[in-house]
Amino acid sequence: MLHADLEYSMTRFFKWLALTALVILLLAMGGLIVVNRQLPALIERQLNEQVEGYRFTVGQATFSPSLSLEIQQLTMIQTDHPDPPVAVIPRWVLSIQWSEIFSGVLVSDYLVSRPILHITLLQAKQELQEEVPIQEKGWREAIYSFYPVTINKFQIEDAEVTYVDQDPSKPLHFTHLNLLAGNIRNIRSPNDAYPSDLTLDGHIFGSGRIGMQGHANFLAEPHAGIKADLALEHVALEPLLPVTTRYNVHIRGGVLSAEGHLEYSADGETQAKLKMLTIENARVDYVHTAQTTAKEIQVGHTAVKTAKKLQNKPETLIRIDHGELKNSEFGFINEAAKPPYRVFLSNGALHLENISNHLSEGSALVRLTGAFMGTGETVISGTFRPEAKSPDFDLAIKIERTKMRAMNDLLRAYGNFDVTAGLFSLYSELKVKQGHVEGYIKPLFKDMKVYDARQDQEKTLFHRLYEGLVGGVAKLLENTTRDEVATLTDVSGPLETPRTSTWQTVVNLITNAFFKAFLPGFEKEVRP
């Protein structure tokens, strides 16, 4: 009898316990329903109050018994430039990282799924002009206000990023981007310089691929550090046209591949080492106009200042072990001249070895081959040493048997005449060191024919007489045994602008010397 009473009491106890648990569960579920109804407005309010310069809307938010929070359809706009929205996040899950509970810490995971980011040049400029840096605008405080658990793992899956520079019809697209940063709080391997895992992969401009894998230290002071390997595959260059045209550089076609290593440490040491860089099938033109002259000077000054800063920072190393430009065309278009002209090198192949900003890394070797104006066999080779106070390099140029009819626009612009036949060659050696240049440039003209009555019958009589005079002077200067016209221009002396960059110095030397020596027998331009 006693046993039966005990069994009955235990049964009633467990029934009441189950009922109580059910009631508590129902109350908790009811509470969650009430809370979840208020969550979107709460999250919106916290984000809008804490984060400066942006406005947020939240479609749905759900807090689950597992202590995870799922936010759906989060939209972020920049208040000064609201169209288009900067970000649309269909799904963002914040959850407890239960695997680290046994380490004695309470941390969280963030999973952001299929976010769409849309950034314009105006929005980027607005952000850069703000006095408060973007990382100090209250993001952390806003997120921790509605999910107060320190983040330890951050993951983005299948993101899409669009950047619009100057031309809205030519946006830059990055798709299927995946980012994973783990052990952000350095729970595991806290004594390592880079204890956190970091991976990134995705598509660039459609056919291109990017991959990065390495480690980071997000808690390092005074700033986070990163050490990773980077690979780019088959990245199209033409989509960059809206950006490069700001610097007068026009790109058609071309694909880029590269692999290297990046390191940015907390103590300020920066290394960017490219083991390999390859560009194929590109057509690149630098376009000069009268309207862009002032901007070109400003860009040149900025480039020089940036180069000097890099050279004067021993903790910053930039190096390209091996670089190649294959089957490409390089041109210079002068729209300020009358008539406008284009000089170019077709079938170009550029080989770079050991390009660096540090003298300790040794000299850089450069070799460029191709066809000047489509016909003249060209070889340009140089040895470049990282600059100390001024450019330091040796350069040799050889251009042979260029068909001169392809150069008629250039001849009209600088000599006001054209040719019907002839071959052009050029030889030069230049050495620049400690603000001083030594060398020569020697153009050579063979079988040049300036005047042709049939071709020139539409020209004025006076212009035909002028071209006949040019042809006559050229004839007088010919080597009678080889029917060649050759002049030699010495370019030795102090650099006119020793504080320019190496690239500017090379261009200025060749341009100035070329046009001074270009027209045989004429020291000044002659006009009819």
Per-residue DSSP letters for 335-357? TTSSS-EEEEEEEEEEEEEEEES
pLDDT at 307: 56
User: 84 preceded by cis ω (within 30°)?
Assistant: yes
Q: What is the token pair recorded at 223?
A: 């700033």
**Helical axes 2-50 vs 139-146, angle rounded to 10°:** 160
**What phi and psi values does residue 38 have, to the nearest 5 degrees?**
-90, -15
Q: Which residues contact 88 (CB under 8 A, 6 or more apart)?
A: 73, 74, 75, 76, 115, 116
Q: What is the token pair recorded at 374?
A: 């489509």
Q: Which residues contact 389 (CB under 8 A, 6 or more apart)?
A: 434, 435, 498
The answer to whether the beta carbons of residues 393 and 366 sit under 8 Å apart is no
Give me the residue label for tokens 């009268």.
Answer: 290
User: What is the per-residue pLDDT across 403-457, written as a single tens digit (0 to 9) for each?
Assistant: 989 988 888 887 777 888 888 888 888 888 877 888 888 888 888 787 554 455 5
**What phi and psi values does residue 489 have, to the nearest 5 degrees?**
-115, 125
Q: Please name the amino acid found at residue 88.
A: V
Q: What is the token pair recorded at 355?
A: 């390009």
pLDDT at 384: 83
Model confidence, pTM: 0.77
Identify the CA nearest to 398 among candidates 382, 384, 383, 380. 380
Q: What is the token pair recorded at 82?
A: 């609201």
Tell me how far CA of residue 233 lies from CA of 171, 198, 252, 350, in angstroms: 20, 20, 18, 19
Q: Which residues of the chain have pLDDT under 50?
A: 2, 13-15, 18-28, 30-31, 453-454, 461-470, 472-482, 498, 520-528
How far is 469 from 458, CA to CA, in rounded Å? Answer: 18
Q: What is the token pair recorded at 59?
A: 């479609």
User: What is the per-residue pLDDT across 2-37, written as a single tens digit (0 to 9) for each?
Assistant: 455 555 555 554 445 544 444 444 444 544 555 557
How far is 256 from 259, CA to CA, in rounded Å? Answer: 10
How far is 134 from 143, CA to CA, in rounded Å? Answer: 15
Q: Is 447 left (phi over 0), alpha (psi -120 to 50) or beta?
A: left
Q: Where are the domains of the chain?
A: 29-164
**What phi and psi values does residue 298 have, to the nearest 5 degrees?**
-65, -45
**What phi and psi values does residue 4 have, to the nearest 5 degrees?**
-65, -40
How far is 181 from 315, CA to CA, in rounded Å? Answer: 26
For residue 373, give the DSSP letter: T
Q: Which residues of 193-224 are buried (b: 16+ CB within 10 A; e: fewer)?
A: ebbbbbbbebbbbeebebebebbbbbebeeeb
The answer to whether the beta carbons of residues 113 and 90 sit under 8 Å apart is yes
Contacts 24+ apart (CB under 8 A), 164-167: 164/118, 164/119, 164/120, 164/121, 165/121, 165/242, 165/243, 165/246, 166/121, 166/242, 166/245, 166/246, 167/242
3-state SS, residue 284: strand
How far is 447 from 419, CA to CA, in rounded Å? Answer: 10
pLDDT at 136: 60
Tell me how far CA of residue 498 lies from CA of 94, 175, 312, 390, 434, in angstroms: 58, 45, 17, 6, 8
